[in-house]
Amino acid sequence: MRLYLVFGVIFLLGGVILFKLFEKQVIEFSQYARAARNQSESETKIQAQRGRILTRDINGELFPLAVSEWTYELLVTPRQIKNKRSFAEILSPYLPEMSVEEIYSKVNNDEVYIPPLVKNLSSERADEIRAQNLIGVTLQPKLVRTYPERENLAAQIVGFVDAAGIGKYGIEAVYDRELRGLPGERVAKRDSLGRLIDILTTKEPQSGSDIILTVDHNVQFVAETELKKAIETYQADGGSVVIINPKTGAVIAMAGYPTYDPNNFSKLAPEEHFKFLSTAASNVYEPGSVVKPLTMAVALDVGAVTPETTETFGGSVQVLDRTIKNAEDKTFGRQNMTQVLENSDNVAMVWVSQQIGAEKLYQFFANFGFGKKLGLDVVGEQAGLLRPLKEWNDVLRSTAGFGQGISTTTVQLAAAYSALANGGNLVTPYLAEKAVVADKATAFKHPDPVRVIKQETADAVKLMLESVVLNGHGKRAAVEGIRVGGKTGTAQVANPQGGYYENQHVGTFAGMFPIEDPQFVMVVRLDNPKTVRFAESSAAPTFGAIARWITNYYQLR
């Protein structure tokens, strides 16, 4: 009986052993084979070349605003280095940022991995180090995003790429998918010490697309230069300039201040991160009298007035519990509608908005793009504020007619003025024209213009705006040799607690040129200039300076 028991135990143990052998050799074979491969094979992701962001000039020459450059990390495996002192002495001449002792202290151990000795080595320095044939050295290629333009040109348009390689803000964010491309992969065979023996397979990366902008490189530079000069001259807190093609919506320049250096974006404190946003598209304000030509366009379009309609207006008017006055309590008396714009008469505009009616004025303002995002290809575009029609009492109807009680962005104003310039169609501003990869260009699609006023209305208002520059508050926006039209706006700054600040204002000039066939719509905004009181002395001359340069650049005379 004991013998049978012994044989049974032996048989059972043998069965268990056989099963375990079967399990290891057959059932779990693939798992162990994979583990063995993992010890001898390594997979490495190959970065895709991120596409460039480019502007061009009047001749079509391209200028890079953002590029990706190959740099190298110097990796060292101390365990593979036999004579560490000699190693440090040989390497030191090629690493001026490190002494022999510093290098020696880093490699004087038996580690398989230590942090990179140096990052962002240029290709030239990497080649010099590679030529020394040092055992234990690996030069790991890495793409680094750089922004080569001086003076941080177009930083708020371009944005930046973060440490993870993801586009943040501006074109880098909006077109991140097109720019980034597809990474590749390399499978290599290594020995027991991790040294490379052979490359087994390689899947090449696919480069990202270049994005070509509508922005003219030289106009952008001049817009930024003149904006900064104006901010310094008039001691303004900030400002923006937008220049667009009124027929297409293509943005020719878009400047904002204060701005930042995209090569050093991480140095900005959290409270400064607002600089990453496009000032022209994200900074909302009550625009003031630059809205008057739009209100006048509505009045003409619905047949409430003509440019020759004449009335007598006082220096103030009572609307419910609100007394509305002209600037400096001026009274202009009997005027036609063109003179109302020339004099920037608030009281007269109350009368004009009354002839229109709240419902029609609200609807036309909505059609002009107020109160909604236009779809500009930036991060952080704001809609502004156009209160619901049910909130439009007589006071709001009256003040909205001269740009108070509604809020917009500089870009929205440029789009609205484009409808005056191009014969009555609202355009959608855009920055990216096309994507190019492997010499194949794909144009981006943008919304078609939408008619918002009649052709004859737009033509009439253009002539009224020209008269404002010739005879009204826009004289300092004039350019010799071409016809310019536009309107000033000196707006109070709304207090979040209610009412308006007494000692703050925003100066704006919105205009177009040449009047007979406008090629450019430009809006200049200066936030709280302290050396002058009115936009005719700040935003208007800034507009004029930029317009004069553009006139020469494009040979408009």
pLDDT category at 423 given cuts 50, 70, 90 is: very high
Bridge partner residues of 244 (DSSP): 251, 521
Instruction: Look at phi and psi of residue 308 and say left if phi exceeds 0, alpha if psi is from -120 to 50, else beta.
Output: alpha
pLDDT higher than 90, residue 187: no
Alpha helix ranges (H) inside 162-284: 170-174, 176-180, 217-233, 279-282
Question: Can you give the three-state secondary structure of 283-306, one letter per residue?
Answer: CCECCHHHHHHHHHHHHHHCCCCC
Which two tokens mark 30?
């693939």
Lowest mean pLDDT among 39-48, 318-327, 368-377: 39-48
**pLDDT value, residue 475:** 97
**pLDDT value, residue 45:** 79
**pLDDT value, residue 108:** 92
> For the chain, what percent of residues have pLDDT higher than 90?
78
**pLDDT value, residue 47:** 83
* Residue of 289, 353, 398, 418 marked active site: 289
Q: What number is the average pLDDT over the span 454-468?
A: 98
Higher pLDDT, 427 or 13: 427
- Which tens digit of pLDDT belongs to each residue from 99-154? 999 999 999 998 888 899 898 898 899 999 999 999 989 888 888 999 999 889 99
> For the chain, what percent of residues have pLDDT higher than 70?
91
- Which tens digit of pLDDT belongs to each residue from 509-554? 999 999 999 999 999 999 999 999 999 999 999 999 999 999 999 9
**pLDDT value, residue 112:** 85
pLDDT higher than 90, residue 3: no
- Which tens digit of pLDDT belongs to each residue from 369-403? 999 999 999 999 999 999 999 999 999 999 999 99
**Whole-number Å distance between alpha carbons of 251 and 7:** 92
Question: To the nearest whole number, what is the mean pLDDT of the chain?
Answer: 91
**SS3 assignment, position 79:** helix
**Whole-number Å distance between alpha carbons of 104 and 81:** 11
- How many other C-beta atoms can be found within 10 angstroms of the C-beta atom of residue 335? 18
Whether residue 411 contacts residue 376, with contact meaning beta carbons closer than 8 Å, is answered with yes
**pLDDT value, residue 227:** 98
The CATH architecture assigned to 215-429+447-553 reads: 3-Layer(aba) Sandwich (3.40)
Q: Which helix (H) or strand (E) segment is 140 a member of?
A: strand 137-146
Lowest mean pLDDT among 147-156, 169-178, 419-428, 446-455: 147-156
Domain parsing of the chain, residue ranges: 215-429+447-553
**pLDDT value, residue 191:** 65
Q: Which helix (H) or strand (E) segment is 450 a member of?
A: strand 450-451
pLDDT higher than 70, residue 557: yes
Has 289 been annotated as catalytic? yes
Q: What is the dihedral of CA 296, 300, 304, 305, to 10 degrees?
A: 80
**Whole-number Å distance between alpha carbons of 165 and 54:** 19
**pLDDT value, residue 34:** 54
**Whole-number Å distance between alpha carbons of 477 and 487:** 9
pLDDT higher than 80, residue 348: yes
Place of tokens 């890079």: 64
pLDDT higher than 80, residue 41: no
**pLDDT value, residue 333:** 94
Lowest mean pLDDT among 193-207, 251-265, 473-487: 193-207
Higher pLDDT, 450 or 183: 450
pLDDT category at 93 given cuts 50, 70, 90 is: very high
Higher pLDDT, 200 or 275: 275
pLDDT higher than 70, residue 186: yes
